[in-house]
Structure 1
Amino acid sequence: MSPQSNAEPQRLAKRLAAQLPCSRSDAENYIAGGWVRVDGLVVEEPMERVRDDQSVQLDPRAKLEPLASMTLIWHKPATRVLPDEPLLPDALAAKWFTQSNRFKGDRSGVRPLKAHLHKLLPVSPLGNKASGLMVFTQNPSVARKMTDDAGQLEHEWLADVAADPELEDEARRDAVLKSLGKALFFDGWAVPSARASWQSELRLRLAIKGNQPGQVAHLCERAGLQLSGLRRLRLGRISLAGLPVGEWRYLLPYERF
């Protein structure tokens, strides 16, 4: 047995850097970009250990360019509980955002990479019992937009309310809309009035600027209603637009909140 075959496995980035040759930093970028195969399988972890007898190949279409910061749009199911952490754990992101539940209508053309699921920040999060549009981003400019302009971003909701015989009365239903249309202070914040309309006997559509946790439930309670379900349809200029429950897509380059 040759001495070389007894060599300890080495990091993929080190092996690729010596093989090309290129800098270790460039090798790491190639690997994280999904351009490197080990024994025919794509490996995206620069720290992966490889043996001397394993084949390491760089895709001939490989581009040496920085990884773009990604923003993901997701239709959160009402049953999905978000962790109480500033960033979505990578392991959870890998479980929630897979190729199998990526929206088939995603027109971004982005090749999904593990790096796209690293350090995802949930912006304007939903309560655990709410469903609908959620946004996760790696992009600092998107995060700043959602924070700095939070009070000016309009959220569109579908709110289901508990059955109440009084709601069969047209005057009572009109009174609910008037109540929802009044501005109020909630949890120390001045909450703008909501534009509201009845979609069915027990479903309201509301558009409100800002998103204080519990805000919609408080508005409904003030109007004498009991909220039984809540779904966000739109955040700023981004909407669900046919995105099925549980599926996700990449934010398109021209889309703005």
Structure 2
Amino acid sequence: MRINKYISLTGYCSRRETERLIAAGRITINQLVCDHDDTVEPGDLVLIDGKTIKGKQENVYIILNKPAGITCTANKDVKSNLIDFINYPERIFAVGRLDKESEGLLLMTNDGDIVNEILRSENNHEKEYLVTCDRLITDEFIQGMSEGVQILNTTTKPCYVSRISDYEFRIILTQGLNRQIRRMCKVFGYRVERLQRVRIMNLKLGDLPVGEWRYLTAEELGELTALLD
């Protein structure tokens, strides 16, 4: 079994995070620093930072309403980091990111496999946002945003955009480029004043207060799993 899959199955972290640990030389197999393509055989000793990996714990799935000002990082050296903010007693990590200025729904879990399934852009999983801008929302802006915008040396995928009020619109994306909505708006001369994610696939923020979190219901988890399958 490849090392990144092995570690994600323990629930320690996602495959993507495992790749970063490997690149940093923090994972060893039988006392040898491992490479990205290394495999794990029964009886092998796998260590992270010289410590054994605890056995797989029960999977945890949490919805957090992230406030603005919290940085989506597990690095505790970063002020106002996500892990210190949620202060959960077990190791969990966010599925995707919201930039520091943005707020709203974050799915947090220790299930590395579900992270990979949701983040694969080719799966076209929907993420819905409410956005407030500094200028009147025009028909031309709505059309331009929905048809695709040139940012980061690529054209964004066509998406659903609708006006909510004079200064607010709704957008549903199926990709997650860095600061995508803010960059898209900037192309048209708009500045984002508030950005809130309200849905990931079937998971909705609802009336969860800002800064609070809750566990997924069995119904939500079942539907999410079915969508990913």
Does TM-score exceed 0.5, indicating one fold?
A: yes
For these two proteins, the number of residue pairs brought into alignment is: 164
2: CA distance between counterparts of 1:70 and 1:185?
38
Question: Do residues 183 (structure 1) and 183 (structure 2) align?
Answer: no
Q: Which residue of 2 aligns with 1:101?
A: none
Question: Do residues 138 (structure 1) and 128 (structure 2) align?
Answer: no
Match of 1:155 among 127, 131, 137: 127
Structure 2 unaligned residues grouped into runs of 5+: 1-55
2: CA distance between counterparts of 1:92 and 1:186?
27
Question: Do residues 200 (structure 1) and 165 (structure 2) align?
Answer: yes
2: CA distance between counterparts of 1:95 and 1:157?
22
1:196-241 Cα distance to aligned partner (Å, 9 max, x none): 1121111111111111121101221223311111110111111102
- What is the root-mean-square deviation in Å for CA atoms of aligned residues? 2.7
TM-score (norm. length: structure 2): 0.63
2: CA distance between counterparts of 1:192 and 1:142?
23
- The offset of 1:254, in angstroms, is 3.3
Question: Do residues 220 (structure 1) and 190 (structure 2) align?
Answer: no
Letter in 2 for 1:80: I
Instruction: Give the share of equivalent positions with the same residue, in percent.
Output: 21
2:219 aligns to what SS in structure 1?
Answer: coil
Letter in 1 for 2:118: M
2: CA distance between counterparts of 1:124 and 1:92?
12
2: CA distance between counterparts of 1:207 and 1:130?
16
- The offset of 1:93, in angstroms, is 3.7
Q: Residues 1-257 of structure 1: matches in 2 within 5 Å? A: 67-83=57-73, 85=75, 93=83, 95-97=85-87, 114=89, 117-118=90-91, 120-149=92-121, 152-162=124-134, 164=135, 167=136, 173-255=138-220, 256=224
Q: Which has the larger radius of gyration?
A: 1
1:13-42 Cα distance to aligned partner (Å, 9 max, x none): xxxxxxxxxxxxxxxxxxxxxxxxxxxxxx
CA 1:84/1:199 → structure 2, altered by over 3 Å: closer, same or farther? same
1:204 aligns to what SS in structure 2?
Answer: strand
TM-score (norm. length: structure 1): 0.57
CA 1:185/1:222 → structure 2, altered by over 3 Å: closer, same or farther? closer
Letter in 1 for 2:101: K
2: CA distance between counterparts of 1:160 and 1:235?
19
